[in-house]
A and B are shown apart, each in its own frame.
Chain A
């Protein structure tokens, strides 16, 4: 394999949301299609969907409490080598854990109380340099058209895979500058055509206001760092998206990478991976990703029970994060030279028939 092939920035298919693949997805019925769902008896589903404030209040208190303790300890230890492991932990809890809080609260399933979902959603969005409004609409589209080329704005593993970009994003080195530039653009009131395709006109002014807030908060941290001649303010706010995002990349890329595109069946385009309780706390059970996409109304704390209810109809889950990467890496390297290749998940005997696949 030539090194040059690792640095491809063009894809063989057009992944934009306003190009020829968009029209093809609509024509073929893949856009806003009917997705396969494993049948679940209504009473069981209703019990799984029930909301409760308890688990998320407990987990959020632990999360914010640890951030406060580690942030204070890191500040007090600044200048000593002891600050390094403290900030390493702080960064992971700040950036990698914020993503799952952003995600669950964006769905408004984490808490029963709506305003609690909204408060944690906005907090986590700002921590991750994301516009709460723009991302709410982007993620809605991701759920409507999961890994449908030309429709889904959140496809992380395009073909051929952008391996250098993926690798750099273990340190946020592409995402962070991109996010900052996006916020500057939003602050100027400019949305591109793709964003306009999924953010309604009535919501766009909110995007501008949020961008000003995000830039003010992060600009304030930079000003404070310069004024105090200390890195601590930016180590606390903003830079965790560089030094603490690696765990999210490690867990998050397992969601869809290497799997089928253009299929109306989450069993074939999403991956469930068993993880230990610490990772599941940080990731708020998003490792049960087939389950989450098939029944997004089920809150994170009920996903293990949902997994048990539908596993007879789903591909075998990956036994560990290590196993998931063991499946993904050979596939993405193969996709460098064979972009049409994907991992074809095997359904168990007796499983429901796969929904429409391909175009």
Chain B
């Protein structure tokens, strides 16, 4: 048994190709990025060692600071939005419908599978005002709410809102299906027993249901967070970061600095900052989730 399951050659054969690719494409570049972040300019062109000054300059760079703020504001709305709506819809599905559950799950999941750029183009058309009314403005026009007709993507606040709505819309289905899976796994006897004890509604949820799906909720939060902190695709495709810098995320700021302003060193520092935030928050979420219970 040990001999077969501990076959070194087999293990090497099975793990090494994956490990090598993984290390070469992901781990080496991370170290590389860190080294770059200690330099200014770009390789081959005014590339100078500057120590940690990029990390200090960052806080006085208006665009970067704006991008950090914007990105966190985005996480603050989108992560709870995605997971919260996912929870809500899965609860409704679980408790209020008996028939067509599979069908509804199938439909709910569809937006998740659509290409981001296509979704963004679709929403851009929906939000449009000039030269033709897009879907939303046309509907507002139809029901007589003319005063709300506006260029949604042309104003910083509404553009941000438009992005948030789109990204929540896309992901609800994903979380609904996962959370629903956890709900189905709750043993029926437990729910029945609780009902007999007189628990219902909110109480049933907080005392019985939620503790049972806690682990999966945390997984969902981590998932959603790692997705939202690297915001790039959807914002690029919907607003290109505008108007102004209102929807420019940290990754977009990094991209601009690297590929538009030729500041590879500085951009690398921004990239490392993103990584640190990512690891830190995941660590905190895990820590909290373990401690409390």
Chain A partners chain B:
no
What is the interface of chain B, defined by CB distance below 8 A to chain A? none
